[in-house]
Structures are given as C-alpha cells and as structure tokens.
Amino acid sequence: MLDRFTGLQVFARVAALGSLSGAARALGMSQSMATKHMAALEGRLGVRLLHRSTRRITLTEAGQRYLESAERILEELDRSDAAAAAERIEVTGTLRVSAPVSFTTRILAPVLPAFQALHPALRVELGLNDRVVNLIDEGWDVAIRIGRLREGGLIARRLAPCRVAVAASPAYLAAHGTPRCVADLGAHNCLSYTLASSNAPDEWSFGPGGAVKVPLAGNLRANNGDALVAAAVAGQGIISQPTFILCDDLRAGRLVALDLDHPATELDGVFAVWPGDRRPPARLRAFLDWAADRFGQVPPWDPNLADAAATPRAN
C-alpha cells in the first residue's frame, strides 16, 4: 500500500515542476513509481488533480484547492521533523527523572541548580519514589537506581560507587555496648530497610559478594532510609545504610560507624537507567554526562568519612 505522505510529496513536486519525471527525479524515485503515487492519491480522493498533456502537466481546479492543503500539511510535517531533530542536538524541553527519596533530597536536588544553570532552556521534573517505577508505562525519561539492577530492556550507566556503613548513635552504644564482630549484631536492635535489593529485611550481608549472612532481630522496619536514620540518631538501634544517607550524621558525630570483623557489602553502584528501545535526546545525554562527572569515582559524600569512622566510640 502506497503511503499518503509520499503521495502528497509527489503531488506538490508535480505542481511545482509541471512534470512527473521532474518530480520523480527530485524525490529520488522512478517515474513509474511517481505515477503510481499520483494515481493512488486521485483514486483515494475520487477527483482528478492534474491535467495531463504531451507538453506539460497542470492542475485542475480541484488540484489547485487541494495543493493549498497539501502544502500546509507538508510544511507542518517539516516543522515537526525539525523540532524532533532539534531534541537530538539542543538541551531543551522537559527531562522527567524518577529517583529514590533519600538520594534525591540529600544528594541530587541540592546540585541540580548547577546543572540547570548550564542549560537554561531545560525543565526538570523529579519524581521521588523508593519503589521501582516502570519508565515506559509511567512516562519517565530516566531513573536513578541504587544497588542491584533487576529490570531487563533498559540501558544502564553507572554514575558512582555506593559504599555501605553500619552505624549507631553514641547513646545507643553507651547503653547497649559496641558490637565488635558481625555475629554480635544478633544481640542488638537492628533497624531494617524493607526495599533493599541486596538484603532481606531480617538479614544483612557482609564481605565480598555478600558471602557472610547475618540474621537480625529488630523492632523497626521501614521502606525509607531517612526514617531509619532518624530512629538511629534518636538511639533506637543499629542501621546499615549507604554512606550518602549516613554521611552528614557521621561527620557531625550523631552516628558512629562500627568497625566490625567483616566489611559491609558494597552495593553495585548508583545507576541511571533508561529505555533501551529509543535513542536518548540531548537533554538526557547532557544529564548523564553531568551526573557521571559530578559524582564520579569518588562520590562527594564519601571523602573524609574515614575520619568520622575513627571517632572514639562508647564502650
């Protein structure tokens, strides 16, 4: 079946050049194909658009009227094509970013003004959610994922490593003692994150690849890291969270990092993911490059945390 858009192009070129052969050459097709497109267009409309003679082709009265509409349609399609192509080049429009609540409020949102200052024609829409959203169904351009990636059909770019620390408040440690090995955690009130990709709520992983599994008991579970941090700062128990959530409280001494016999298992990283069935527009490419450069191999939330971990602990 011949497409209507090409038929309009053939008709407009015939009207401009006065011949089917000239229109065919201009459009890079054979004269027989151009003739077929014109025949299909006239057949679909049920009217003759062209007067054909041995010397020149001219428009009928119906053809004159139809040409005005055809040219408007072709011009609008050209403008639409140009606008779509510009998205591949220019950082404009709206970038919809889905990201975890704690990472966005603590890390991403405070530095976004610097990104948008580089691209003043760009709007950013943030969707804060700790669940794994469906990018295509919910209309997100990109999502920030932390930890193990589980979804297929997405392209991922690692933006930063993601370390984990186990911590508690000085008041909790003074009241309950300081664990020295991971086996000691079973005797403590451990506050668990229910959406963790690498741990079950009643179990924490330690060592390379999470080979050491430690069963836990605790009186609080939450699907948000900030809620657990607030409870830990208040002295309720021990938490295991990424350092981007803990860094401010560790540096301020409100929390103390525990030095155990096995290190906390690092998460796979902080990733940006986007649908793999589409070419990313300029606004998404700009965001990915900026975020990877901003967070890099040594995330800004990690430097000097060793000093915080060395703070004297309660016994």
How far, in Å, CA of 181 to CA of 161, rounded?
Answer: 25
Q: Could you say which residues of the chain have pLDDT below 50?
A: 86, 306-315
Amino acid 312: pLDDT: 31
CA distances, 255 to each of 106, 174, 205, 234 (Å): 17, 12, 21, 10
pLDDT at 85: 53
Question: What percentage of the chain reaches a pLDDT higher than 90?
Answer: 42
Residues 203-220: pLDDT tens digits? 898 988 778 999 988 999
Amino acid 276: pLDDT: 78
pLDDT of residue 53: 74
Q: Over the Cα atoms of the chain, what is R_g?
A: 31
Report the pLDDT value the prediction gives residue 217, as an integer from 0 to 100. 87
Residue 173 is predicted with a pLDDT of 97
Q: What pLDDT, on the 0 to 100 scale, is given for residue 92?
A: 83
Q: Please name each of the domains of the chain with its CATH number.
A: 4-87 (1.10.10.10), 93-315 (3.40.190.290)
Secondary structure letter of residue 209 according to DSSP: G
Whether the full predicted model's pTM is greater than 0.75, yes or no, is: no
Residue type, 77: L
Q: 200 to each of 54, 192, 196, how far by Cα in Å?
A: 82, 9, 7
> Where does 54-202 show beta strands of DSSP type E?
57-59, 93-99, 122-128, 142-146, 154-162, 164-168, 190-193
